[in-house]
């Protein structure tokens, strides 16, 4: 019988995989380009509330949660949009 990974194991796998991909992305686009475009947008999204009276969620936190759900549950891109 195949064992399914626990949420902690799956989360650690996603973290490790994303960490590797982020390093490759930064190397591919160059540090200056990454800082100028990607990092600035991520920083802004991390500080922007999801909606005006929201105190718990930012644009970035919600997008990352949805992407994580997509990856962990094997949703297709078509069903995700």
Report the chain (81 residues): mean pLDDT per 10 consecutive residues. 50 57 77 80 89 89 86 80 67
CA distance linking residue 56 with residue 26, whole number of Å: 29
Does a structural domain hold residue 2? no
Give the single-character DSSP code of 58: B
Does a structural domain hold residue 3? no
Q: Which pLDDT value is given to residue 78?
A: 81
Written as six digits, the tokens of 36 are: 């100028």
CA distance linking residue 18 with residue 58, whole number of Å: 20
Q: Which pLDDT value is given to residue 17?
A: 58
Does a structural domain hold residue 38? yes
Written as six digits, the tokens of 49 are: 């509330």
Give the range of the structural domain holding residue 23, as residue numbers without chain letter.
18-80
Q: Which pLDDT value is given to residue 49?
A: 92
């Amino acid at each position: 019988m195949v064992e399914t990974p626990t949420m902690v194991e799956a989360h650690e796998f996603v973290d490790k995989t994303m960490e590797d991909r982020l390093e490759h992305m930064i190397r591919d686009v160059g540090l200056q380009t990454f800082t100028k475009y990607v990092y600035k947008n991520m920083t802004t999204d991390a500080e922007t509330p999801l909606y005006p009276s929201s105190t718990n969620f930012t644009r970035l936190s919600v997008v990352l949660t949805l992407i994580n759900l997509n990856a962990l549950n094997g949703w297709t891109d078509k069903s995700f949009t």
